[in-house]
Chain A
Amino acid sequence: MSMLAYDGTAMLGRQLLRMRNNPGLLILTQTMPVSMLLFFGYVFGSALAMPGEAYRSFLVPGLLAATAAGGIMTGMFQAAQDTHRGVANRFRTLPMSRAAVPLGQAAADVVVTAAGTVPFLLVGFAVGWRVEGGPLEAVGAFGLLLLFRFACTWAGIYLGLLTRNEEAAGQLGGATFLLPLLSSAYIPTSGLPGWLRTVAEWNPISAVTTALRDLFGNAPVPDGAAWPVAHPVAGSLLWCAVLLGVFVPLAVRQYAHGER
């Protein structure tokens, strides 16, 4: 385990250096939620029944959760990109822990996400979002957000190692933008027709969004929702556990096997 921690830290360092030397993807993924906040908050928000500032407060936790789900896309893209690089072969011939490469990638992703929430929340603050609950709950919300990002990145890494194709990863990854549309990230699910509401509420993004709104004190837990949304913190933790339980072993196995 200490070998994994040591190698994983080295790989985390590698990922952070890569992003520092080549910050294009990073800048894109970090500025996207800011522009979506402004676009959704002012353009779409103007057509909604909810008053603008209330909608923007409602939207900030939703965008945080939706951005965290974007870990599927970045995880996929980077993992697929790496399979074509000779450097992956060198890692496989080194006496290092097999799990260290994906772990380093997922951990670096969490670090970058954590840093990226700062400018996003500053813009959120400027457009009217506030922490309306207790400080402990707010810290818990950040922890939950990063855990969700970590879990989504592992899912992405597995899919990226599976497709081994940057282009396919890019296209499939683009499709992950649709996931938050069928959740409570941008809209209250209570207005959806019955079956669609059920689907949306079983979307992990809904549980995380609702948990963030609850912990930041931005909006109460809706009545009559499906279990993961009705118990958002427990539901989110459970979703993360499921994602990690499924995708960590799959990704590590896929990485270790390579093209054998």
Chain B
Amino acid sequence: MTSTYAVLSEGLEKRFGEVHALRGLDLAVAEGTVCGVLGPNGAGKTTAVRLLTTLLRPDAGSARVAGHDLVREAAAVRSRIAVTGQDTSIDGDLTGRQNLQLFGRLHRVRGPAGRTTELLDRFGLTEAADRPAATYSGGMRRRLDLAASLIRRPDVLFLDEPTTGLDPASRNLIWDAVRGLAAEGTTVLLTTQYLEEADRLAGDIVLVDRGRVAHTGSPAQLKALVGAHAEVVVAHPDVLTKAAAVLDRLTGGQPSFDHDRNAVGVVSKDPTLTLPLLVRALDSAGVPLLDASLRPPTLDDVFLRLTETDTTDEVKERAA
């Protein structure tokens, strides 16, 4: 079976004056999957979404979205995609209902009134439907924004940090909607800073750092890239550094301190690390241990570890 890609980009580059926002982005998102794009602030996530949704034109490289060339067939791309960005893309002067009806008409939806009512209900906006959207709370606005993207079911949906700053209720509504869309066959490309969100929603994760793809894989594959997260609590603050030195030797990771709790933690580079090994090493070094734990890495750990390595490399590059 040949798999087809809903988003396929090669060497996408974008500069804003001196800032090189994207330095050759290669993405491959299979049809019908949810792809989470993770990266620190300024990694180029939003620029990537703006390029892939035809809002910006790439300086170099090429991409196909929903089977159409991004630059030469921009109109065809636009008819197959929808995007909900970080900035609200609804009209605050219009009511929620008027917004959805307008976008329904522009999308050539037959009978937009029925679809509008259905979406308002699904996103919990029925009561506020006839108030200007400018009076909505942040969560309501984001939900209306997503509803506007779904007025006609898109082949590819781009979500740029869809739940940043939202309360749990709004967040859950948006997560449910994303799962529902994916089940219906829509490809979703989602950028986020919340690793939990990517872990829950995305089948594939792309780590973006400084305008390039740093790592790709399923959440499990990415977690396997680093070892467990180890944390020990010691009896006196004076032995913290000693404990850290042992952890460093044992795991090769960069220890981080929690001085309030006399604790030091590290993300292991070695996937074979076990708790007995850890305890024995600390005990034989004479560290008075009160508590020790080893838990599977979260995507946060992966993220910190992988970007931390890159930073170290960069420092080395500069020093060389």
Q: Which of A9-17, A178-186, A213-221 is found at the contact surface with chain B? A: A9-17
Whole-angstrom distance from the CB of A82 to the nearest CB of chain B? 9
> Given A7-B106, A95-B78, A95-B107, are A89 and B55 also a contact pair (CB < 8 Å)?
yes
Q: Is the CB of B53 within 8 A of A93?
A: yes
Per-residue A-contact encoding for B71-113, CB less than 8 Å = 1, 0 else: 0000100110111010111111111001000110111000000
Could you say which residues of chain A place their CB within 8 Å of the CB of B98? Answer: 14, 17
A66-110 with Cβ < 8 A to chain B? 85-87, 89-96
Could you say which residues of chain A place their CB within 8 Å of the CB of B57? Answer: 260
Q: Is the CB of A90 within 8 A of B78?
A: no
Could you say which residues of chain A place their CB within 8 Å of the CB of B82? Answer: 93
Whole-angstrom distance from the CB of B77 to the nearest CB of chain A? 9
Tell me how many residue pairs across A and B have CB atoms closer than 8 Å: 67
Could you say which residues of chain A place their CB within 8 Å of the CB of B54? Answer: 92-93
Q: Determine the distance from Cα of A17 to Cα of B101 in the docked complex, in whole angstroms.
A: 12
Q: Determine the distance from Cα of A7 to Cα of B105 in the docked complex, in whole angstroms.
A: 8
Whole-angstrom distance from the CB of A99 to the nearest CB of chain B? 13
Whole-angstrom distance from the CB of B29 to the nearest CB of chain A? 17
The interface size of chain A toward B, counting residues with CB under 8 Å, comes to 22
Q: Is the CB of B78 within 8 A of A94?
A: yes
Which partner residue on chain B sits nearest A95 by CB separation?
A: B79
Q: Determine the distance from Cα of A10 to Cα of B94 in the docked complex, in whole angstroms.
A: 13
Could you say which residues of chain B place their CB within 8 Å of the CB of A90? Answer: 83, 89-90, 103, 148
A223 at the interface (CB under 8 A from B): no
Which of A21, A86, A96, A260 is in CB contact (< 8 Å) with B106?
A96
Q: Is the CB of B90 within 8 A of A86?
A: yes
Which partner residue on chain B sits nearest A96 by CB separation?
A: B106
Sampled A-B contacts (18; CB under 8 Å): A10-B102, A13-B102, A14-B91, A14-B102, A17-B93, A22-B93, A85-B92, A86-B87, A86-B88, A87-B88, A87-B90, A89-B87, A89-B89, A90-B90, A93-B78, A94-B103, A94-B107, A95-B75
Additional A-B contact list (12), CB under 8 Å, known A21-B95, A86-B85, A89-B55:
A10-B106, A14-B102, A21-B93, A85-B92, A86-B87, A86-B90, A90-B83, A90-B148, A91-B106, A93-B55, A94-B106, A259-B55
Enumerate chain A interface residues (CB-CB to B < 8 A). 7, 10, 13-14, 17-18, 21-22, 85-87, 89-96, 258-260
